Structure 1
Amino acid sequence: MNLELFIARKIHFEKDETRKVSPPAIRIAITGVTLGLAVMILAVAIVIGFKEEVRNKVIGFGSHIQIATFDNNQSYETHPIAISQEMRDSLCLYPEIKDVEPFATKPGILKTDDAFLGVAIKGVDSQYNWDFFKEYLVSESIPQINDSVISNEILISKNIADKLHLGVGDQILCYFVQDNIRARKFKITGIYQTYYTDYDKIFIIGDIKQVQRLNNWKKDQYSGLEIRLKNFDQLNFMTETLYFKYIDKTDKYGENYYVRSVKEQNSQLFSWLDFLDTNVWVILILMSLVAGFTMISGLLIIILEHTNMIGILKALGANNITIRKIFLYVAVFLVGKGMLWGNVIGLGLCAVQYFFKIIKLDPEVYYITSVPIEFNFWYWLLLNISSLIISVLMLIGPSYLVSLIRPAKSIKYE
């Protein structure tokens, strides 16, 4: 039998009406651990969810990796590169790659009878994966694009539709400023709304052949190639792999290939998202300290209230290490109870927000309509294990109070 554990159970589960101090102190200690762990679970779930939501929207518009020509021009008027079917097929052989899709962009001006708006048309082909835009489609359907004829159907954002008072089925002229100003009449077949205003206020999606014809490009010339990965964690590895594969290669027109990741294209945004991790660490540290200090005060009160028992155990031959183990076991019981309730409250609040979207956000500021929740089992498990270890380690120091208690004086202490 484990004597220390046996005595610790007796102390923890005892019903002693004469003790007036330790029950409130214990409740405060347990509450500290409960609130600390619940806040940490919420903080981690919210930050992971927020980063996931924003990151997915950026990737939805521009993919994980792009292969284009090196161009210092920051506008959507791009220089073409040639992309062969063999090149696309070779990229599809990588197990980390999900989709390989050509794209072409061109700035234009949408014009109605009483308003106009600068936009950028993003041209895609018949094999384009529309899953991202289908998720945020608010009206009708996506454009029908095929390889045989040029389609005049486009998908616009709700932001653009509201500004120009447009709806599904409307036709609108788009002017393209180049050597000779050209105009194209497009038919709106669908409206999307991602709430990522940086892109919603700019992009319309249409047939890639429209852009090629406007720029007088050949059939194999595009603005670039979008590569979507199966796992975001493979981004750095695949970017480096493709960068060195194409660094010294040119297309058949002599243009160099340039590989860049979504992080490079949106460096400020991803720096901001990475900075959120710092906020989480601050919350985790503060909550750990709060829970730890409440547990320390609770343990000290329990030790002081059991001074008489400590003196008797020492008189019977128990050493300081044995007695310290007893009170550390008691502390583990208290921490465990606090962590149990912390998990119930933390996960419960996460579930409520995940399913019912109670707490709303301003999409103009945060790019999303409600506080996002993303549960990661391994983060949750690591959070629980580290919380238990940190709490117990913080209690080792206060347990040394046992060594200061003298049997001769403490036995008669009540």
Structure 2
Amino acid sequence: MNTELFIAKRLFSDKATRKLLSQRIIRIALIGIALGLTVMIVSVAVVTGFKKEIRDRVIGFGSNIQIINYDSNSSYETRPVSADQPFLETVRSLAGVKYVQPFATKPGMIKTDEYHQGIIFKGVTKDYNWDFFAKNLVAGHVPLLNDSSRVNEIILSEHLSKLLNIKLNDRVVVYFINEKDAIPRLLQLTVCGVYRSGFEEFDKVFILGDLKQVQRLNDWRNDQISGFEVAINNFNQIDNIEQEIRNSVIQFRDADADIMRTESITRLYPQIFDWLSVLDMNVWIILLLMVIVASFNMVSGLLVLILERASMIGVLKAMGSANWSIRKVFIYLSVFLTSRGMLWGNVIGISIVLLQGIFRIIKLDPAAYYVDYVPMNFSVLHLVLLNLGTITITSLILIIPSWLISRISPDKTIRFD
């Protein structure tokens, strides 16, 4: 039988102790622990949710990895490559690769009677994965593409729709300029769908339609494209998979074929992903501060408990209990009390995360934060790690103030009582 644990349980459940002064002080300490754990749960949920939401939206517009012409610069006016590449089957068979799809981009300008706006026309094929845009579609449908003829349907963002006063099924004129042409080329396209990703930086420029339209505008052959988009299963493996793709591209390159290179989404948009990486430092600072606050709260509570139970400590010492044995009693008791505070912290923190995740109560300015609400990512693993880390660190720190027990003399405490 664990005597120290038994005594700690009796002290924890003893109703008479509720009238002691220490209970009020400990109640304040437990409130501090509950609030601290709440802040940690919400902070981790917000940061991980924010990173996931931004990352998924950027990937939705440009996929994880792109394979493009080596001579293409960072603009959307690209040099063509052949759609028939010998490395495609090898890349598709790589572990972690979901799919590979061709694409083409062309800068242009939408002009109406009253407004005009620069855009990026992204051309895709009938096999394009529309999951991201279908999920964010607010009206209409995605373009119904085919292999035989050019399709004049496009989807554009709700932001562009409101900015240019364009409605569903309207016909719009899009102008494109080629380097060798003195007169702009134009396309008359029909808006078949309107999407809202909430990522204003991309919403205000991207429209999607038939890849054959880009080929026609650039005087490309039917087998020429801007490049390939590669989607992967695990974003954390993006660097390793990109290296494998790069090796495949180099291995199968013909001497007379186009020289191609790979670009990960993190390098295409470094300003966004560098900003997201800074958030990790912020959350670590918050976690450290909250753990320190929780630890000091319980240290103060433990000291009060020890002083208030000095007579009991004296009796236990007189009966032959060792200092470490008595210290374990109060450490167990502190862990029980800390667990009670953590229970309320979990309840409050999880409630806030779920309410915000379901009802999106707190809104944001998408122009500043890239999203129009505070995203939440509820992870059981993060929750378990936060609880284990808090209880472990707090318990270890409680060993230090429990040393005060060895300074208590049994003859003085018993005589005083």
Q: Which residue of structure 2 aligns with residue 279 of structure 1?
A: 282
Question: By how many angstroms is 1:244 displaced?
Answer: 2.3
Query: Is the contact made by 1:136 and 1:194 (CA closer than 8 Å) also made in structure 2?
Result: yes
State the alpha-carbon separation in 2 of the partners of residues 336 and 116 from structure 1: 61
Runs of 5+ unmatched residues, structure 2 = none
Query: Is the contact made by 1:248 and 1:256 (CA closer than 8 Å) also made in structure 2?
Result: no
Question: By how many angstroms is 1:62 displaced?
Answer: 0.1
Corresponding residue SS for 1:370: coil
Corresponding residue SS for 1:317: coil
The aligned runs of 1:12-411 (5 Å cut-off) are 12-16=12-16, 20-71=20-71, 73-84=73-84, 87-178=87-178, 179-180=180-181, 181-247=184-250, 250=253, 254-411=257-414
Runs of 5+ unmatched residues, structure 1 = none
The residue type paired with residue 76 of structure 2 is Y
Question: By how many angstroms is 1:50 displaced?
Answer: 0.7
Query: Is the contact made by 1:45 and 1:374 (CA closer than 8 Å) also made in structure 2?
Result: yes
Question: By how many angstroms is 1:155 displaced?
Answer: 0.8
The residue type paired with residue 203 of structure 1 is F
Question: By how many angstroms is 1:251 displaced?
Answer: 5.8
With the length of structure 2 as denominator, give the TM-score of the two structures. Answer: 0.96
State the alpha-carbon separation in 1 of the partners of residues 302 and 292 from structure 2: 15
Q: Which moved more, 1:199-208 or 1:368-377?
A: 368-377
Question: By how many angstroms is 1:85 displaced?
Answer: 6.2
Corresponding residue SS for 1:411: helix
Question: By how many angstroms is 1:406 displaced?
Answer: 1.0
State the alpha-carbon separation in 2 of the partners of residues 409 and 39 from structure 1: 44
State the alpha-carbon separation in 2 of the partners of residues 300 and 102 from structure 1: 67
Q: Cα deviations across residues 29-49 of structure 1 (Å, max 9, x unaligned)? A: 211211111111111111111
The residue type paired with residue 276 of structure 1 is L
Query: Is the contact made by 1:81 and 1:251 (CA closer than 8 Å) also made in structure 2?
Result: no
State the alpha-carbon separation in 2 of the partners of residues 37 and 69 from structure 1: 50
Relative to 1, partners in 2 of residues 1:137 and 1:221: Cα closer, same or farther, differing over 3 Å?
A: same
Q: Which moved more, 1:250-259 or 1:158-167?
A: 250-259
State the alpha-carbon separation in 1 of the partners of residues 328 and 71 from structure 2: 67
Q: Cα deviations across residues 218-261 of structure 1 (Å, max 9, x unaligned)? A: 22211110001122222121011112222465467532110111
Paired residues, number: 414
RMSD over aligned Cα atoms: 1.6
Question: How high is the sequence identity, in percent, across the aligned residues?
Answer: 45
Question: By how many angstroms is 1:16 displaced?
Answer: 2.6
The residue type paired with residue 356 of structure 1 is F
Q: Cα deviations across residues 34-81 of structure 1 (Å, max 9, x unaligned)? A: 111111111111111111111000000000000001236332110111
State the alpha-carbon separation in 2 of the partners of residues 380 and 8 from structure 1: 27
State the alpha-carbon separation in 2 of the partners of residues 343 and 164 from structure 1: 47
